[in-house]
Amino acid sequence: MRDAPAISYEQLLNWLRFIDEGLIEQRGFLTELDAAIGDGDHGTNLARGAGAASSKVDAEQPEYLDELFKLVGMTLVSSVGGASGPLYGTFFLRLATGVGHRQELTPEQLADGLEAGLGGVVERGKPEPGDKTMYDAMAPAVRAFRAGISSGDVASASRSAADAAAEGRNATADMVARKGRASYLGDRSVGHIDPGAASVALMFEALAAALA
């Protein structure tokens, strides 16, 4: 059997760039979502973090993917704040460990990395499905990516991951928040999309664009 075509360093760098651009574009939208059920700083905090990560990457130009994702993770941890900082920071730090010391990845290796990242989020935030958190978008997306690469190419797998994340994001509107500041609203949180799930959907949309 031939090896699956590799996912290049360039493509994954594009992923990070697209996340950064998406956050700048959707900063207002994410902040609006957060103002409704949180403290209204999600868009601003993430955009600041992604901007800081891009600058670091440009300055240090890490050679290997684990170094790249580790740099992103550490920068997010120290620049985002709130709960999103440690959650997204942990995602990228675990992604770094998960993909290993490589300059390109097979689809399976990227799936391993995404699963490791998701595992880190679970460990850090201890979410249950349906708690109305970023997990509700991230878990279906990571599952869809893994399923996608076993039956198709990486472009279609990342497309279905993005679709699953968007669906998961939309489903959070009907959920009652059980984690974070929104949980103090109880039933009053219903009817609002979780901002963390929305930023996860953005992240997987960026992945689909980068791997298209």
Partner 1 sequence: MKKLINGAEDVLAESLVGLAAAHPELRVDHANRIVYRAEPKPHGTVAILSGGGSGHEPLHAGYVGFGMLDAAVCGEIFTSPTPDQIALATKTVDTGAGVLHLVKNYTGDVMNFDMATELAGGIAVATVIIADDVAVEDSTYTAGRRGTGVTVLLEKIVGAAAEQGRDLAELAALARRVAGSGRSMGMALTSATLPASGKPNFDLGDAEIEVGVGIHGEPGRRRVPLGSAREIAAMLVEPILADYTFGGEPAVVMLNGMGATPLIELYVMFGEVSALLEKAGVRVARSLVGNYITSLDMAGCSVTVLRADDELLGLWDAPVSTPALRWGV
The count of other CB atoms within 10 Å of the CB of residue 39 is: 13
Give yes or no for a contact between 43 and 29, defined as CB atoms under 8 angstroms apart.
Answer: yes
Question: Given the rule CB under 8 A, which residues bind partner 1?
Answer: 39-41, 45, 74, 77-83, 85-87, 89-90, 124-125, 176, 178-181, 183-186, 188
Smallest distance, Å, CB 111 to partner 1?
25
Residue closer to partner 1, measured from CB, 100 or 186:
186
Smallest distance, Å, CB 77 to partner 1?
5
Smallest distance, Å, CB 200 to partner 1?
16
Smallest distance, Å, CB 66 to partner 1?
18
Q: Which residue has the tokens 């620049």?
A: 79
The single-letter DSSP state of residue 177 is P
Smallest distance, Å, CB 151 to partner 1?
36
Give yes or no for a contact between 176 and 187, defined as CB atoms under 8 angstroms apart.
Answer: yes
Smallest distance, Å, CB 25 to partner 1?
21
Residue closer to partner 1, measured from CB, 42 or 143:
42
Residue closer to partner 1, measured from CB, 137 or 161:
137
Query: Alpha-carbon distance 162 to 144, whole Å?
Result: 9
Give yes or no for a contact between 209 and 18, defined as CB atoms under 8 angstroms apart.
Answer: yes
Number of helices and strands in the chain (H, E): 8, 2
Residue closer to partner 1, measured from CB, 101 or 188:
188
Q: Coil, strand, or helix at residue 7?
A: strand
Residue closer to partner 1, measured from CB, 7 or 33:
33
Give yes or no for a contact between 102 and 64, defined as CB atoms under 8 angstroms apart.
Answer: yes
Q: Coil, strand, or helix at residue 10?
A: helix
Residue closer to partner 1, measured from CB, 52 or 147:
52
Give yes or no for a contact between 100 and 110, defined as CB atoms under 8 angstroms apart.
Answer: no
Give yes or no for a contact between 45 and 81, defined as CB atoms under 8 angstroms apart.
Answer: yes
